[in-house]
Amino acid sequence: MLSPTANPQFEVRTATEEDLDALVAFNGRVFRPSAGVWTRSLLTGGRPGTSIRHFLVLEDRATAQIVASLCMLLQEWNFGGVSIPVSQMELVGTDPNFRGRGFMRMQAMRLAQMERAERCLLSCVQGVPGLYQKFGYEYAIPLKGGTRISLEKVAGCGSSRIPQPGRVLSFRRAVAADYPALVPFYTEATRSMFVSSSRTAALWAYQDGQPDDSEHAIETYVLEEGAQIVGYFRLRQSSKLNAMVLREAQAQTWDGWWAALKAAFEAAAASGFNSLLLQLPRTNPLHQTAQYAGGDEIPPFAWQVKVLDWVEFLNRIAPALEARMAASLFANWTGSIVVRLRDATTLHLGFDQGKLKVRADGQAGASDGVDATVGMFTQLAFGYRSSEDLLRWHPDFRVARSIHFALDTLFPKLPSYVYETY
């Protein structure tokens, strides 16, 4: 709780069960009704790791009215096979009559305490472009985007398709008993991504169980050949985007991919939409199919990310970084890279026979290193930008020639895609 001397009229506090209805009403009013439905779903629908104590409210002492709020959604992200605890700042809202008073900053300070208590290594947010960079976040992972394609063009995708003889595929809505079997398909769908969100059967059940009028209502469909599950896809209607959204898809054969696309096509037509929006990673075969069929690409936005502890984060993902070096000319390398973060600490990335150890306060005066802001290094470490990208766009990003090859081997530009976990 903030000291009363900070602002005697307002206080930031952890929400309690008594605040549930008021929070639902507040988010429904400040955002839109579906956000209020989603708030109730988060708090009563069984999302793993979420409870009322993960919500903050900023209250007017005089009226006991909620004038601002946000929440923390805990999740796990996969970094090249290493699991990292992540906090997502969500439902960040302020009553229009109380904006411009620094309430978001007051809550962000309290959120940082909560993130430390939960031992999160990363914090992420979607949100307003440009705003969250003031709080230390940087664009680092593609978010949504996709390809919009008319139903007429979708129909043309299958015109030359030759089905495999004897193979009959069907699909149906997923039920609770399916989720454990679907998790490996999700893992396969995200395997080529350097960074992806982790999903359990319990999280899948929560997502599919949201009310139809929730902000993030979604439906999962199982692809079957006989009684065997051979893939899945997920759909959600979006009146805002005026399209049926194909949010995920994974199959084992072209017949399976076509079955998913055809089912999405039929669902769009039945719902009165004239187009599909494929919100899929660029590596997904259906994304590529839609592109070649004449779909219009929608550039992705980006997750905004803040590393809460660089030393612990890099040491945690060291196995993934060591594997990159081991598969290159730097196998069993002994050497170091010094990263001078102008707005933070200096990092020393030391390799001894291929094993990485990161520590703070390296040789700040060494010339053989990297000079960057935290934002630049975030984009490099997450594979969002290459060193060449950063050198081209930022005159103040510097890399010593002697370690440039090692740096690019350690931090190449890589595909990532983080699906929402709610």
- Total domain count, the chain: 3
pLDDT band at 365 (very low <50, low <70, confident <90, very high): low
pLDDT of 3 strictly over 50: no
Q: What pLDDT is attached to residue 2?
A: 35
- Let me know if residue 131 belongs to a domain: no
Q: Residue 286 — φ and ψ, nearest 5°?
A: -70, -30
d(CA 128, CA 160): 43
CATH number of the domain at 352, please. 3.30.1050
- Let me know if residue 273 belongs to a domain: yes
Judge if 256 and 351 occupy the same domain. Answer: no
Looking at every residue in the chain, the average pLDDT score rounds to 93
Judge if 292 and 155 occupy the same domain. Answer: yes
- 126 vs 8, which has greater pLDDT? 126
Judge if 275 and 353 occupy the same domain. Answer: no
Nearest Cα to Cα of residue 377 among 300, 311, 320, 319: 311
- Let me know if residue 3 belongs to a domain: no
pLDDT single digits (tens) 253-302: 999 999 999 999 999 999 999 999 999 999 999 998 999 999 999 999 99
Mean pLDDT, residues 314-324: 98
- Let me know if residue 420 belongs to a domain: no
Judge if 230 and 277 occupy the same domain. Answer: yes
Task: Residue 4: count other Cβ atoms within 10 Å of its Cβ.
Answer: 11
Judge if 100 and 41 occupy the same domain. Answer: yes
pLDDT band at 363 (very low <50, low <70, confident <90, very high): low
Judge if 342 and 252 occupy the same domain. Answer: no
pLDDT single digits (tens) 17-44: 999 999 999 999 999 999 999 999 999 9
Q: What pLDDT is attached to residue 56?
A: 98
Is residue 215 packed enough to be buried (19+ CB in 10 Å), middle (13-18) or exposed (0-12)? buried
pLDDT of 67 strictly over 80: yes
Question: CA angle, corner 184, sides to 214 and 378, nearest 5?
Answer: 70
Judge if 396 and 330 occupy the same domain. Answer: yes
Judge if 206 and 176 occupy the same domain. Answer: yes
Q: What pLDDT is attached to residue 364?
A: 54
- 204 vs 154, which has greater pLDDT? 204
Mean pLDDT, residues 133-155: 94
Q: Which of 79-83, 101-105, 247-251 has the lowest mean pLDDT?
A: 101-105
Coil, helix or strand for 356? strand
d(CA 73, CA 422): 8
Q: CB under 8 Å to 390, separation ≥6 — which residues?
A: 372, 376, 379, 380, 397
Judge if 239 and 155 occupy the same domain. Answer: yes
SS3 of 294-314: the string is CCEEECCEEEEEEECCHHHHH
CATH number of the domain at 188, please. 3.40.630.30
Q: Among the ranges 153-162, 338-347, 387-396, which has the highest mean pLDDT value?
A: 387-396
- Let me know if residue 129 belongs to a domain: no
pLDDT single digits (tens) 404-422: 999 999 999 999 999 999 9
- Let me know if residue 108 belongs to a domain: yes
pLDDT band at 343 (very low <50, low <70, confident <90, very high): confident
Judge if 340 and 270 occupy the same domain. Answer: no
Is residue 270 packed enough to be buried (19+ CB in 10 Å), middle (13-18) or exposed (0-12)? exposed
d(CA 172, CA 195): 30
pLDDT of 58 strictly over 80: yes
At which of 242, 267, 299 does a domain end?
299
Q: Residue 235 belongs to what domain range?
A: 146-299
- Let me know if residue 133 belongs to a domain: no
Q: What pLDDT is attached to residue 5?
A: 35
- Let me know if residue 2 belongs to a domain: no
Nearest Cα to Cα of residue 23 among 71, 73, 89, 77: 71
Judge if 185 and 252 occupy the same domain. Answer: yes
Structure tokens at 127: 């949100």
Between the alpha carbon of residue 28 and those of residues 19, 38, 53, 128, 196, the distances in Å are: 14, 9, 20, 18, 30
Coil, helix or strand for 378? helix
Mean pLDDT, residues 367-379: 93
Judge if 243 and 360 occupy the same domain. Answer: no
Mean pLDDT, residues 182-205: 97
pLDDT of 1 strictly over 60: no
d(CA 249, CA 188): 11
DSSP assignment of 175-212, as one string?
-GGGHHHHHHHHHHHTTT-SEEE---HHHHHHHHTS-T
Task: Residue 188: count other Cβ atoms within 10 Å of its Cβ.
Answer: 13
At which of 239, 270, 299 does a domain end?
299
Helix axes 285-292, 254-270, angle to 10 degrees: 70
Structure tokens at 412: 């190449």
Q: What pLDDT is attached to residue 240?
A: 87
